[in-house]
Structure 1
Amino acid sequence: MKIDYKILWLDNEMNAFIEDDVILEIEQHLISEGFLPTIITTSDEDDFLGKLNDSYDLILTDYHLNNLSGADIINEIRKPERSIFTEILFYTAKAELTDTHKISRVSFLETNGKSATHQETIIAEVKKLIDLTIRKFHHIVAMRGMIMHETSLLDSKMLDLILGSLNRDNINFKDLAESIYDQLLELYSTKAGFVNTCKEKSKFKELTKDTFVFSSDYKIQTLKQIIDAIGEVTDFSADYKEEIISIRNKFAHANLLVDDQGREYFKYKEGGITFDEALCKKIRRDIFKHQKNLDALENRLAETNP
């Protein structure tokens, strides 16, 4: 499971889709589902084939193109050497599609005779197909793996920002460092010698390199110090602690259960939160939000780099 969702879209009249905000509407639908959308569009068949690989979650194309037929496109996508098994939607305003149901993981849409416009019909069908692929992503065991992976990436990003800021004269880490030293001495008796050495020799940078000692809680405290010092960045530290660190820790210690209908879900402690599809959708949105928060902080640090 991942937070990114990639679409490759081919249409000789692609400018019309862009100008009418069709692409934007599909992007907004993915964002509302908690995904980070990347929609790569092209109006040229050769360009499409050059971009074609197995990284996409969905491929969209008009069935009637200038230089290639829909059958040609299918043959290109399904070539053994490409090893692409992505869901594909072909659409056309002509009623010429026959026996298409026999092709695995390929959908066909005729928009003629519909009450809605050609573009409106395509939008509705694309959303349905996106939702279908998302449901395939939603296996709850895979979801835990995605959350642990994505939050670990955020954790690494935080540490990079901290290490890049420790030598700034305009940020005073002294009081924060003293507070973290004291917390660590209390919580990790096995690390007492290491922490004491760092404290006595003022080696806060060495402390940050120990991933066991310098946990996500201390990283977010340090990031808050950076945010407060440089200004013009909204303090997201409290939300990050609740929406990322806390939820990750609970998910890591939740138990996998099965209900009477055979549905799998994770439950954190008796009477605690249930990690179902609705909550996982919110978690994806929160991860996306804090990715943007960290990017904004990174940009602000670059702007104020002495």
Structure 2
Amino acid sequence: MKLEYKILWLDDQIKDFIEDEIIQEIEEFLSKKGFKPEIITTSKSDDFFEKLDNSYDLILTDYHLNDMNGDDVIKRIRSQDYSVMTEILFYTAKADLKDTEKISRVSFLETNTLLGDHRDEVLRATLNLVDLTIKKFQTIVAMRGMIMHETSSLDVEMENVLQLLLSKSPTPDEIISTIKEKYKRSNDEFNKNIDNLEDIDTIIRIIGASHRWRAIVRNLTDDEIKSIMVNYEKEIIMIRNNFAHAVLEEDETGRTFFRHKADGIDFNEAFCIKIREDILKHKQNLDSLISRLQ
């Protein structure tokens, strides 16, 4: 799982879930958890299997389909042809599910109704299962891996933004000169090397995330994007560095979590939601910057 939470949903009456705003509620729930929701819906099994791969975090499917038996859908998902082990919610409005305990990582829901309550019960079961998959993801070790991956991707985006700023600037040499001076002041060990470098790609790469951030902020106009970028070091760079040096601890309830001892930061569930929200915010902000500069 990354910052994008992907759901693949098969139901030949999927339009009813769309019209009842069930899908919208799931998207809002995921957004509040700090994820970017992507819900792919289909009413045809052929279309479903064309879209099926291991990129999804959750699969939803009805048992009673017009063009394929529900049992066959799940068997095919788990077959060697696809080998997808994603969590599945398998639901029906009729009490006729059989041999449900024999299929791994599949949750079964019998609503025993064909009325409107059926869709509400599917919604509740879906939200519960989403919570479960997020909790599995937040066994914290995985959370640290996600943060390292996503912030490294942002580092690359920052390099791209700085390259574009330089390409658009009427005085790129002055910017490079300032970058060098700022870099020398805080990195004495590289002083003897930085003056000999003229290749812009190399300079941008070796100055580090904090110096790239400062160079970008210095060369942005005073607008909304700049005001957000001012917080980039605190919300992205410092958090990534603290997480990298945090240690795994366990409290009296058995909850495992990472704690940065020097700063006393507890990377608990609420804080991890904020981290995901901040990463998404800065991803979108950098995308807007790049679009504006291209």
Question: SS at the partner of 1:236?
Answer: helix
Q: From 203, 207, 215, give the equivalent of 1:208.
A: 203
Q: Report if the CA contact (8 A) 2:140-2:258 is conserved.
A: yes
Partner of 1:190: 189
User: C-alpha distance in 2, partners of 1:34/1:232?
Assistant: 22
Q: Equivalences for 1:146-157 in 2 at 5 Å?
A: 146-157=146-157
Q: Deviations over 1:170-215 (max 9, x none)?
A: 5x556654443233223222311222234xxxx472553442xx11
SS in structure 1 at match of 2:24? helix
Q: Which amino acid aligns with 1:40?
A: I
Paired position in structure 1 for 2:235: 243
Residues matched between the structures, number: 294
Q: Aligned partner of 1:187: which letter?
A: S
Q: TM-score, normalised by structure 1?
A: 0.88
Shift of 1:76: 0.8
Task: Quote how far apart the aligned CAs of 1:38 are.
Answer: 1.4
Cross-structure match for 1:85: 85
Change (3 A) 1:224 1:233: same
Aligned-residue sequence identity (percent) comes to 46
Quote the Cα distance in structure 1 between the aligned partners of 2:284 and 2:201: 28
Q: Which residue of 1 is the match for residue 260 of structure 2?
A: 268
- Give per-residue Cα distances to partners, 1:214-242, cap 9 Å, x unaligned: 1111111222234318x674532221111
User: For residues 70 and 120 of structure 1, do their structure 2 counterparts lie closer, same or farther at Cα, with a shift above 3 Å needed?
Assistant: same
* Whole-angstrom distance in 2 between the partners of 1:184 and 1:295: 26
Q: Which one of 211, 221, 244 corresponds to residue 218 of structure 1?
A: 211
Contact 2:168 2:293 in 1 (8 A): no
- 1:61-210 matches, within 5 Å, as 61-113=61-113, 117-169=117-169, 172=171, 177-198=176-197, 203=198, 205-206=200-201, 208-210=203-205
TM-fit CA distance, 1:115: 9.4
Q: Is 65-74 or 174-183 further displaced after alignment?
A: 174-183
Per-residue deviation at 1:149? Answer: 0.9
Aligned to 1:227: 220
CA RMSD of the aligned region, Å?
Answer: 2.3
For 1:58 and 1:32, how far apart are their aligned partners in 2? 17
Q: What letter is aligned with 1:284?
A: R
Aligned counterpart, 1:50: 50
The Cα shift of 1:108 comes to 1.6
Shift of 1:55: 1.6
SS in structure 2 of the partner of residue 150 of structure 1: helix
Contact 2:63–2:70 (CA<8 Å) still a contact in 1? yes
**Runs of 4+ off more than 6 Å:** none
Are the structure 2 counterparts of residues 115 and 70 from structure 1 closer, same or farther at C-alpha, using a change threshold of 3 Å? closer
Equivalent residue for 2:286? Answer: 294
SS in 2 for 1:123: helix
C-alpha distance after superposition, 1:133-179 (max 9, x if no partner)? 11110111221111111100001011012112312145x55665444
Uncovered stretches (5+) of structure 1, i.e. residues with no partner: none
Instruction: Give, in angstroms, the shift of residue 265 of structure 1.
Output: 1.7
For residues 68-114 of structure 1, give each alpha carbon's deviation from its aligned partner in whole angstroms, at most 9, with x where no partner exists: 11111011111123211111111222222244233221112122359
3-state SS of 1:228 partner: coil
SS of the residue aligned with 1:190?
A: helix
Q: Which region of structure 1 is more displaced relative to structure 2, 134-143 or 219-228?
A: 219-228
